[in-house]
């Protein structure tokens, strides 16, 4: 069996990826670029071959008001979805969204994800009423959820009939690390460089460089070693 040189393989992939997209032909072009290429994380290399990046043929984008930066990576089964009254979604350069992650907006909610963010599998960004803003170079581990809203719970009507309310948007500073399974609720601001422990439920602000753990999340210490 003749081994095709890596340089020629990259030319093949670059040509087909340049014609990729959400149309039937675009999806076919992407599938041709994937021939013989490993799945999952290694496919992030393909997003660097062309400015438009890599969008898996199995990803779904149903959103009229979204923008992407250069070298975007959308893995298998990523879903970008809009409900009525949706705000925008803006993804920065070299954003990586891994499989089964969902970004959804409605009722004026919006999502901004900064440059070089890595969003691991099965994360949910649900922006209704309030915005979600993620700074540059943020690392989000698997299974995290972000909700910029809550349900009203007044006693005079059934829960299903309650309007959505929000204490404000979610703001995540640059270079934060959000641990696996963490939940970030509306009105929360997390300062630059903070760390959120696995499984934490964050319902109050976390300062820059802070380490917060638990349910509800509490500030444990500062990364600098100073007092919390």
Residue 144, token pair as written in the block:
């995290």
Would you call 22 helix, strand, or coil by DSSP? Answer: coil
Instruction: Say how many residues make up the chain.
Output: 228
41 included as an active-site residue: no
Q: Taking every pair of C-alpha atoms in the chain, what is the biggest distance, in angstroms?
A: 74
Number of other residues whose CB lies within 10 A of the CB of residue 136 = 17
Reported for 180-185, long-range contacts at CB under 8 A and 24+ positions apart, including other chains, are 180/120, 180/141, 180/142, 180/143, 180/144, 181/141, 181/142, 181/143, 181/144, 182/141, 182/144, 182/145, 182/217, 183/144, 183/145, 183/146, 183/147, 184/144, 184/145, 184/146, 184/147, 185/147, 185/150
Catalytic residues: 151
């Amino acid at each position: 069996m003749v081994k095709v040189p890596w340089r020629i393989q990259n030319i093949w992939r670059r040509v087909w990826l340049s014609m990729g997209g959400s149309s039937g032909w675009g999806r076919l072009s992407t599938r041709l670029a994937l021939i013989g290429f490993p799945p999952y994380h290694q496919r992030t290399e393909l997003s660097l071959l062309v400015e438009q990046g890599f969008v898996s043929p199995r990803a779904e984008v149903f959103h009229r008001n979204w923008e992407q930066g250069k070298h975007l990576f959308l893995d298998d089964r990523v879903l970008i979805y809009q409900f009525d009254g949706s705000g925008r979604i803006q993804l920065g350069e070299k954003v990586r969204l891994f499989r089964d992650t969902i970004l959804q907006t409605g009722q004026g909610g919006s999502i901004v994800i900064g440059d070089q963010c890595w969003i691991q599998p099965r994360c949910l960004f649900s922006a209704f009423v309030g915005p979600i803003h993620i700074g540059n170079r943020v690392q989000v581990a698997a299974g995290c959820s972000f909700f910029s809203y809550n349900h009203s719970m007044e006693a005079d009507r059934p829960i299903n009939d309650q309007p959505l309310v929000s204490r404000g948007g979610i703001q995540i500073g640059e270079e934060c690390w959000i641990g696996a399974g963490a939940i970030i609720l509306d009105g929360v601001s997390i300062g630059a460089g903070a760390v959120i422990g696995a499984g934490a439920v964050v319902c109050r602000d976390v300062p820059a460089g802070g380490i917060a753990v638990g349910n509800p999340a509490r500030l444990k210490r500062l990364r600098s070693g100073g007092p919390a």
